[in-house]
Amino acid sequence: MRTANRVRLGWRPRLYGALGSTFVTIGLVLLLFGVYHLYVVPAKTDREQHALEQELDRQWDQPDPAGLPAPVVGNPWETGAPPNGKPLVRLTIPRLNLHWVVVEGVTLADLRRGPGHYPGTAYPGQLGNFAVAGHRAPRVFWDLDQVAAGDPVYVQAGSTVYTYTVTGTEIVRPSDVDVIAPVPDNPAAQPVKQVLTLTTCNPKWASYQRLIVHADLTGVRTVPPDTVVG
The full length of the chain comes to 230
Find how far residue 148's CA is from the centre of its chain. 17
50 catalytic? Reply is no
Alpha helices in the chain (DSSP H): 2-9, 11-35, 41-60, 108-111
Say which of 50, 99, 117, 135 is annotated catalytic.
135
Q: Could you give the CA distance from residue 126 to residue 166 in angstroms, rounded to a whole number? A: 17
Q: Which amino acid is at 112?
A: R
135 catalytic? Reply is yes
Q: Could you give the CA distance from residue 177 to residue 131 in angstroms, rounded to a whole number? A: 11
Q: Could you give the CA distance from residue 160 to residue 196 in angstroms, rounded to a whole number? A: 16
CB within 8 A of 158, min separation 6: which ones?
A: 60, 71, 72, 73, 74, 75, 76, 225
Q: Which amino acid is at 185?
A: D
Q: Could you give the CA distance from residue 50 to residue 57 in angstroms, rounded to a whole number? A: 11
182 prior amide bond cis, ω within 30: no
Say which of 99, 117, 201, 214 is annotated catalytic.
201
Active site residues: 135, 201
